[in-house]
Amino acid sequence: MRGAKKVTEETEINAASAEHDPAAGPSATDELAAVQAERDHLLAERSDLRDQLLRAQAEFQNFRKRMEREKVELSDYAATETLRALVPILDDFARSLKVETADREYAKGVELIYQRLTESLKRLGLEPIVSSGQPFDPHIHHAVEMVEIEGVPDNTVLEEYQRGYNFKGRLLRAAMVKVAVAPASK
């Protein structure tokens, strides 16, 4: 037992002298400072990596939303072009309904087809622009004739030559109209 006590005392003496002797190696305080510096470095690196991860996730979410929005815009654009091709057919139907015919059943059939087509296009987002009696708006009307007339407010749409349409809130085709203007003073 005496031998064990002597070894312990020598170890303590050697440890105490090593603390004060720079040639003996790093002290516990120096090791602690090095470990804390490494810990701080790793925490900062972890924080940077976490920030990069969050930014990458946010960029991915933004990319996904942008792709979905572009996909919808592309389908709307394709639908717009299809409707641009169908609108003249609607015009032809409307003109054919204004012509008198001897065969009432035929006229009724054409009218039913026209109604069904317009209802289907409305469900897709096609909206006719109501022009007659409305104030002239150059954003949705195309004036093809201007008539001086009394008793009607200036810049009022008198007649619609060709119906205009909006598609999902955007102008698809401007209405061609006749507009009233105030008579020139003599």
Pairing mode of beta strands 126-129, 164-167: antiparallel
Q: Is residue 29 exposed (0-12), middle (13-18) or buried (19+ Cβ within 10 Å)?
A: exposed
Token readout for 131 is 């022009």
Q: Which residues contact 55 (CB under 8 A, 6 or more apart)?
A: none
Q: Two tokens at 9?
A: 């005392």
CATH class of 37-124: alpha beta
Q: Domain locations in the chain? A: 37-124, 127-186
Helix (H, G, I), strand (E, B) or coil at 159: strand
- CA-CA distance, 88 to 148, in Å (whole number)? 30
Write out pLDDT tens, residues 22-81. 555 668 899 999 999 999 999 999 999 999 999 999 999 999 999 999 998 888 888 888
Q: Report yes or no: 175 and 131 within 8 Å, Cβ to Cβ.
A: yes
158: left (phi over 0), alpha (psi -120 to 50) or beta: alpha
- What CATH fold (topology level) applies to the domain 127-186? Nucleotide Exchange Factor Grpe; Chain A, domain 2 (2.30.22)
Q: pTM, whole model, 2 decimals?
A: 0.61
Q: Which amino acid, one-letter code, is at 4?
A: A
**What digits encode the pLDDT tens for the residues 96-125?**
988 888 888 988 999 999 999 999 999 999
